[in-house]
Structure 1
Amino acid sequence: MIDAIIFAITIVLPNLFLMGLGFFMKKRGEVSQTFIDQASYFVFNYCLPALLFFSVVDSEVDYAKQITLIAAGILITFILFIGAELYAKRFVSDPADQGVFVQGIFRSNMAIIGLATVANAYGEKGLSIGAVYMGIVTILFNILAVITLSRVSKSAEDTWTSRTLMVVKKLFTNPLILALLAAFAYKALPLPPITGVIHTTGDLLAAVALPLALICAGASIDLKSMFRLSGLSMQASIGRIVIAPIVAIVVGLSFGLTGVHMGVLFLMVASPTAAASYVMAKAMGGNDVLAANILAFTTVVGLFSMAIGAALLRVFGLM
């Protein structure tokens, strides 16, 4: 039991420390909002793509064996999405709140919190598996997010055709998805290994990705928003930090997952609400205040639920 607790603390505590550093620096005025925005852009467009590309290209993971893991992740996403949609239709009256509520439950922060925790737990092997999982499920996240948020639009120009085009545009301009597609193509072709200056540069960019992303996430935390929870934001937060991890464990066990695969599934699903949920809610006319409250609360509290779940799974030898 002690070993399991130490394992859980080890994989979560570095993330908390880096986020705490970002929060501390923002409070002291050592970083500005401009820096946070620019650094986040740099991480998303350059550092994370480099991390994902080289983690896939350098790995010896048999990606055909990840089909069960990816299928479990897709099923979990649909269970959370459909469950949240049914709940929202019955208990959430304002259309501007419904999509934000649903997105806050099914869409997890895989690219930053999820990948960082997986890397802490399993190193390069886990990172490679997590990158593949993230690439596939991110596509589904974007499609479902547009579907659930589109209900608030009153524009005559906003049709299912325009929404479909928006989803396609988002997918094929997403640097993370493009990096993964490029990595899969490189591995599939009879090309020589990437070495020398190119690989060294990629490694340096990749090394920056997760630490800087976590510092920016911490600097973006708004404690006033976090503790200004309405009944609706608390319900969505419970769905993300309690219901989602439980669904992940149940589905993972039903698919027979253990070890690294169960660990990757749990940590990816149990991650806090994705930062992109706030951006997309604001862009599509949803309740951005509600989105910010859910994001802030789950970002902090969700890490503790991840630690508890990881400790329990470790006790039973499942991850």
Structure 2
Amino acid sequence: MIEAIAFAITIVLPNLVLMWLGFFMQRRGEASKTFIDQSSSFVFKYCLPCLLFFSVVDSEVDYEKQIVLIVAGILVTFILFIGAELYAKRFVSRPADQGVFVQGVYRSNMAIIGLATVANAYGASGLSIGAVYMGVVTILFNILAVITLSRVSKSINDTWVSRSMMIVKKLFTNPLILALLAAFTYKALPLPPTTGVIHTIGDLLAAVALPLALICAGASINLKSMLHLSGLCMQASIGRIIIAPIIAILVGIGFGLSEVHMGVLFLMVASPTAAASYVMAKAMGGNDVLAANILALTTVVGMFGMAIGAALLRALGMM
């Protein structure tokens, strides 16, 4: 059990330290909103795509074996989405809150905290598995987000056609998805390995991605808003921090996943609510204050939940 606890601390503590550093910098005035916005944009558009592209291109992972993992991840997402929708329909009265609640439950921060924790746990091979998983499930995340947030409309011209166009636009302009498609295409074609200057530049940008993203995540935490949490925020956070990981474990057991695949599934699903959930909620007329509070609470508390879950799975020989 001591070894399992040490493993959990090893994979979670580096992320917590970097997030604490970002929060510390923000409190000292060393990380302004402009810095956070520009750095986050830089990571999303350039660093993370390089990380995903080269992790896939350089890996020797058999991606056909990941089909079971991806199907398991899709099933977990649908279970969480449908369950949250049914709960919101019964217990959440305001339409502006319903979609935000649902997003807070099913949509995890795979691209930053999930990938960083998987990399800490399994190294380059785990990172490439996580990258493929993230690429597929991210598409589903975006589609479900538009569906659940569409109950609130800011414009009379907001129709299912316009929402469908929004989904297509988001998917085909998402740098992370484009990077993964480019990587799969590169591996499928008889092209030489990426070496030399190009690979060196890609490695340098990739090395920046996760540390800077975690620092920005920590700098974005607003403790004042967390002191005024609503009951709905707490309910959504329980769904994300406790219920989602339990469902992931049960589905993983049902699919008979290997230790590494179970670990990737758990860490991706158990991650805090995705930052994109706030952006989507604000853009589509949802309760952006509730979205921000869910994001903050799950980001602070969710990391400890990941550590506890990882320690238990490790002790049971499942991760």
With structure 1 as the length reference, what TM-score do the two structures score? 0.99
Q: Render the CA deviation track for 1:111-154: whole Å, top value 9, x for unaligned.
A: 00000000000000000000000000000000000000011015
Q: Aligned ranges for residues 112-127 of structure 1 at < 5 Å? A: 112-127=112-127
Partner of 2:106: 106
Distance 2:123 2:225 in 1: 34
Deviation at 1:27, TM superposition (A): 0.3
What is the percentage of aligned positions where both structures have the same residue? Answer: 85
- Aligned to 2:151, what secondary structure does the other structure show? helix
Q: Which amino acid aligns with 1:30?
A: E
Deviation at 1:243, TM superposition (A): 0.3
Q: Render the CA deviation track for 1:11-44: whole Å, top value 9, x for unaligned.
A: 0000000000000011011121101000000000
With structure 2 as the length reference, what TM-score do the two structures score? 0.99
Q: Which amino acid aligns with 2:152?
A: V
Partner of 2:46: 46
Partner of 1:242: 242
- Aligned to 1:191, what secondary structure does the other structure show? coil
Distance 1:259 1:228 in 2: 40
Distance 1:61 1:133 in 2: 13
- Greater mean alpha carbon deviation, residues 205-214 or residues 224-233: 224-233
- Aligned to 1:152, what secondary structure does the other structure show? coil
Q: Render the CA deviation track for 1:281-312: whole Å, top value 9, x for unaligned.
A: 00000000000000000001000000000000
1:288 has 2:257 as partner = no
Contact 2:104 2:295 in 1 (8 A): yes
Distance 1:15 1:313 in 2: 19
Change (3 A) 1:154 1:42: closer
Q: Aligned ranges for residues 210-249 of structure 1 at < 5 Å? A: 210-249=210-249
- Aligned to 1:302, what secondary structure does the other structure show? helix
Partner of 1:188: 188
Partner of 1:25: 25
Distance 1:83 1:29 in 2: 41
Distance 1:156 1:235 in 2: 32
Partner of 2:178: 178
Q: Which amino acid aligns with 1:74?
A: I
Partner of 1:150: 150
Deviating above 4 A after TM superposition, structure 1's stretches of 4 or more consecutive aligned residues are none
- Aligned to 1:225, what secondary structure does the other structure show? helix
Partner of 1:70: 70
Partner of 1:305: 305
Distance 2:10 2:82 in 1: 34
Contact 2:56 2:131 in 1 (8 A): yes
Aligned length: 319
Q: Which amino acid aligns with 2:179?
A: A
Contact 1:227 1:297 in 2 (8 A): no
Aligned residues: CA RMSD: 0.5
- Aligned to 1:252, what secondary structure does the other structure show? helix
Deviation at 1:226, TM superposition (A): 1.9
Unaligned runs of 5+ in 1: none
Deviation at 1:252, TM superposition (A): 0.4
- Aligned to 1:151, what secondary structure does the other structure show? coil
Contact 2:154 2:285 in 1 (8 A): no
Contact 1:11 1:121 in 2 (8 A): yes
